[in-house]
Amino acid sequence: MAETVFAPWDDANEKPLIRFRNVTKRFGDFVAIDDLTLDIYEREFFALLGPSGCGKTTMMRMLAGFEDPTEGAIELAGQNIAGVPANKRAVNMMFQSYALFPHLTIWDNIAFGLRRESSDKVAIAERVDEMLKLTRLEKFARRKPHQISGGQRQRVALARSLAKAPKLLLLDEPLGALDAKLREATQFELMDIQEKTGTTFVIVTHDQEEAMTVASRVAVMDEGRVMQVATPTVIYEAPNSAYVADFIGDVTLIEGVARARSTPATGPATSAEEPAPAAQTVRTPQPNALGLWLHDKVLAPVIGARKDIVRQLPPPSATEAEPAPNAPVEVPSGGVEIDWADGQPPLISVDGDPALDGKRVKLALRPEKVAISKSKPQAVNVLQGKVIDIAYLGNLSTYHVELANGTMIKAQTANTRRVARRDITWEDNVWVSWSGTAGVVLDT
Amino acid sequence: MRRAALIAIPYAWLLALFLIPFAVVFKISLSDIALAIPPYTPTAKDGIWTMLSQLDFENYVFLSEDDLYWKAYLSSLQIAFISTVLTLMVGYPMAYAMARAPEAWRPTLLMLVILPFWTSFLIRVYAWVGILSNEGFLNQFLLWIGVIHEPLTILNTPTAVYIGIVYTYLPFMILPIYSALDRLDGSLIEAAEDLGCSRLKAFWLITVPLSKNGIIAGSFLVFIPALGEFVIPSLLGGSGTLMIGKVLFEEFFSNRDWPVASAVAVILLLILVVPLVLFQQNQQRQTEAGA
Amino acid sequence: MNRLSPFNVVSLTLGFVFLYIPMLILVVYSFNASKLVTVWAGFSTQWYGELLRNEAFLDAAWVTLRVAVISSTIATVLGTMAAYVLVRGGRFFGRTLFSGMIYAPLVMPEVITGLSLLLLFIGIGLDRGVLTIVLAHTTFSMCFVSVVVSSRLVTFDRSLEEAALDLGASAFDAFRLVTLPIIAPAVISGWLLAFTLSLDDLVIASFTAGPSATTLPMKIWSSVRLGVSPEINALSTILIGLVTIGVVAASLATKRAAVQAARDEQAAARAA
């Protein structure tokens, strides 16, 4: 099973397609990209994720050839591409606004790039028709861009940028202009096309859900720096900083001082061999249920089974399953304890790094890993508080629970039964609990 | 390379045919009138050094001593200023009403303002000669409705010049103000009224400041050309109206005194430098804001 | 939409009456049988006949037309280049001077422009005639073209050009195949503006035309200085008529294109 995993970044023999080497880009005094080093491999679907102004668009424009780095080098297939103008690069870009030429038909838009390098009319026509077919636009070939819908325009832009079979395709917020429903369907279409054509995709987005859905790896950026580069699962489950934990998904951060626990963690907590138990559904919200369904039922017959191994977690340990009430809890040893408030028991994280001993740390807790109950449960970490707010999201409910010292903790439950659990309501005194492996300890 | 050529061609054209001619004007303004072709001395044929040594400021001294020129400059400034204010007073309400008109009417209204702009300037000024003369349509009309019993003398007075300038330059005032007002978000006025402004106060505190750039652009587009206007004072102002454009034209064509005409032009240009620079800065700001 | 207040209605009505009454009177009295322009003596088209028999006017019209076509064409090329430089040129040496030379001629009194060009032409020994008028007209009308075109370029979505470059087009191809077709309406209006400015110009032409070339405005000028003449009324009516037809036709064409585009967009939205 291991050999089917697509992970060239773990393979030392693999040569990256793109290599940013200590790249810095300044606009006057403003540092858009700050000493950035990054490798992107062939056939990757790589996402640059960050808030606006974090430098992700600048990186893309440097790859396309519209900006040159102030310092450092960018290599494409081992060659420094600084100074190569945009029209001489084997890189194509899909623009955020799509930038379809309004005076040309869909057919001519797609043929535009091909005509620049070849005058073989037959070959061009063949290639354009192939692209039209790939993006299911055959019917609209003779229309002008303003005569088709937004979703179709998006596909024309994709077809046009893929027509020249670039080594690398850049997508600048490719789905930003589409409404939520269409965006979801299009995400899978994009992944499908990427897999079919074998092109390396680099996508720029500020939408974390989009990045997590489509990408093989995500680079989370902030203020011109890459904060973390990893697979979506690692980014979500093992963020390396409070910034990443906070940027991706919902999180509660509890600050305190770490203390190393006596013995290193052993046993089930680090075992990666066990099959995933039922708790898995709670742990991986990405890709979402509709997406998985679409893929399995619609796409799987065409493109084969979903390679979600890429995004799979090391299976959770037994202790991480929802604690059965009133059953005695066995606390695994190792990890750290966090003293976070006077008169409160320390919080235990069994995979916290003991080297953090004595430091100020933050414990990052995903709401779906925090259980909520009216009676005191048996768990590694149990705290009492009061329900301040309830957000009902349909499939999930999020409770905002205020602890005695004012700390707010979010707990999420899946609404698996149609009739909502009405036993917990505003102002109720409740217990929140989580396992020893649920939280991530982050250096502040 | 291409970029350099792209910049160089229009640049060179404007340098050669817009900027360098001013240098020529300046040089001739320092020369003396002569009965020759060309009618001034010295020329470059006399050799550069001889030419340079014979240049002097005699013509400027002459201009400062003859109060005809002083009066012409002052009266041009006065006429241009008053006409600009009048044009603004006529143009602003029109631009405002156009911007508030139902959306469907706006293209038509805009076209009605632009149409006179495309028709011949000369013809539009000429049209007023028949209206303003003693037996013209305006006097006939006023006599007929009984407001006056004697024909008014309007043609060949400064009043006729004001009317002519307001009439011919009105589109230049309306268009920039309209485009500023058109961009104005209507909810700003509603917000001001919601916050307790009266209509008039909202107009004064919100609409006017936000159309400032349009007012500035429009006023310069009227004031600067009006200052050197020739056709309007010649046709409508008669001998009684002194304007520097007319003086220059007559100095050049009737008296054939090219050096004095050049000196008149140089001083007019100096007067224009300040408004020109202000106008150019205003334009550039708008271009950059648009980008 | 909101209805106009009475004040707005009054200011619009008075404003348009002021703008159009003089031209209306010109047109009406061009059909007057009397030589006295302010006394109506019955309908007649005799002044049009006389105008068409007047060789001097026809010659002048021909000179004017040639000058206008040539100068507005050159001005459109130069003005479009200048607009491109202004909007896309970035920083270069003397940029402020350049933009100053673009904006100054828009408002420069014609007597100054005319005088300075004449003195230049005499200084370099260029014979005055059609060529000198063309040079003079090109110089000031290119600035108008560049203002019109640059206002379009400012709103031009730059990513279209980048897309063309990205797809392998050279900078020149990107301009020729993408930018130019899209800004074409602005370039055409620039040409039309330059054309009418050239047709209209009296002062600059008076300075730069030699004895060998007389333009129509110069001809009109020499006769209107002597007072109102019915022949000039007839000529004005023809010019006003041509311009009106042109402007109305152009705006109808634009409107139709806009309506068609809106319809297409609706259809596309429904199809989606």
Q: Is B273 touching C (CB cutoff 8 A)?
A: no
Count of pairs with CB atoms under 8 A, one residue in A, one in C: 82
pLDDT at A322 over 70: no
- What is the per-residue pLDDT for A304? 57
Give the side-chain half-sphere CA count within 13 A for A19.
13
pLDDT at A291 over 80: no
> Cβ separation of C167 and A103 shorter than 8 Å?
no
> Cβ separation of C165 and A102 shorter than 8 Å?
no
> Cβ separation of C159 and A96 shorter than 8 Å?
yes
| Reported ipTM | 0.87
pLDDT at A315 over 50: no
How distant, in Å, are the alpha carbons of A274, B204, C141, C190 from that of B195? 66, 15, 48, 44
C and A adjacent (3 or more CB pairs under 8 angstroms): yes
> How far is residue A338's CA from residue A348's CA, in Å, rounded to a whole number?
6
- Write the DSSP symbol of residue A367: G
| Total structural domains within chain C | 1
If pLDDT is split at 50, 70 and 90, which confidence band does A296 have? low
For residues A361 and A441, is the Cβ–Cβ distance under 8 A?
Answer: yes
Reported as a single tens digit per residue, the pLDDT across C74-132 is 999 999 999 999 888 778 888 889 988 998 888 888 999 999 999 999 888 888 899 99
> How far is residue A294's CA from residue A190's CA, in Å, rounded to a whole number?
13
Q: φ, ψ for residue A37 (rounded to 5)?
A: -125, 130
> Cβ separation of C166 and A116 shorter than 8 Å?
no
How distant, in Å, are the alpha carbons of A305, C96, C146 from that of C93? 61, 8, 19
If pLDDT is split at 50, 70 and 90, which confidence band does A263 have? low
Chain C neighbors of A150, CB-CB under 8 A: 272
- Would you call B150 exposed, middle or buried from its count of C-beta atoms within 10 A (0-12, 13-18, 19+)? exposed
Query: Which of the residue ranges A25-39, A159-173, C28-42, C74-88 would you say has the lowest mean pLDDT?
Result: C28-42
- Matching residue, tokens 């559904």: A281
Classify residue C75: in a domain, yes or no.
yes
What amino acid is encoded at A178 in this protein?
A: L
Classify residue C37: in a domain, yes or no.
no
Classify residue C257: in a domain, yes or no.
no
For residues A428 and A390, is the Cβ–Cβ distance under 8 A?
Answer: no
Its domain, for residue C124, covers 54-220
Classify residue C40: in a domain, yes or no.
no
> Cβ separation of C268 and A91 shorter than 8 Å?
no
Beta pairing class for A200-205 and A45-49: parallel
pLDDT at A191 over 60: yes
State percent of chain A over pLDDT 70: 83
Quick one: residue C14, left, alpha or beta (phi over 0 = left, psi -120 to 50 = alpha)? Answer: alpha
If pLDDT is split at 50, 70 and 90, which confidence band does B289 have? low
Reported as a single tens digit per residue, the pLDDT across B16-39 is 999 999 999 998 898 888 777 777
Terminal Cα-to-Cα distance of chain C (whole angstroms): 30
If pLDDT is split at 50, 70 and 90, which confidence band does A422 have? low
Classify residue C2: in a domain, yes or no.
no
Biggest alpha carbon–alpha carbon distance for chain C: 72
Reported as a single tens digit per residue, the pLDDT across B47-84 is 777 777 778 888 898 888 888 898 999 999 999 999 99
For chain A positions 28-87, those within 8 Å of chain C (CB to CB) are: 64-66, 85-87
Token reading at B243: 């304007």
Quick one: residue A404, left, alpha or beta (phi over 0 = left, psi -120 to 50 = alpha)? Answer: alpha
- What is the per-residue pLDDT for C37? 67
| Closest Cα in chain C, distance from residue B65 (Å) | 22
Residues facing residue A391 across a β-bridge: A398
- What is the per-residue pLDDT for C248? 86
Q: Which residues contact A200 (CB under 8 A, 6 or more apart)?
A: A17, A18, A40, A41, A42, A43, A44, A45, A46, A167, A168, A169
Classify residue C157: in a domain, yes or no.
yes
Residue of A nearest to C158 (CA): A99
Print the SS3 string covering C3-23. Answer: CCCHHHHHHHHHHHHHHHHHH
In this complex, which chains have at least 3 CB pairs below 8 Å with chain B? C
- Write the DSSP symbol of residue A322: P
Taking residue C111's Cβ as centre, other Cβ atoms within 10 Å add up to: 27
Domains of chain A as residue ranges with CATH: 2-247 (3.40.50.300), 252-285+321-443 (2.40.50.140)
Determine if the peptide bond prior to A285 is cis (ω within 30°).
no
Return the axis-axis angle of helices A106-117 and A121-134, rounded to nearest 10°.
Answer: 130
Reported as a single tens digit per residue, the pLDDT across B166-201 is 999 999 999 999 999 988 888 888 888 888 888 888
| pLDDT less than 50: residues of chain C | 1
Domains of chain B as residue ranges with CATH: 1-61 (no CATH), 66-290 (1.10.3720.10)
Token reading at C130: 């059609």
What amino acid is encoded at B98 in this protein?
A: M
CATH of the domain at C199: 1.10.3720.10
Token reading at A144: 């002008």
- Write the DSSP symbol of residue C46: H
Classify residue C77: in a domain, yes or no.
yes
Taking residue B213's Cβ as centre, other Cβ atoms within 10 Å add up to: 18
Classify residue C191: in a domain, yes or no.
yes
> How far is residue C39's CA from residue C37's CA, in Å, rounded to a whole number?
6
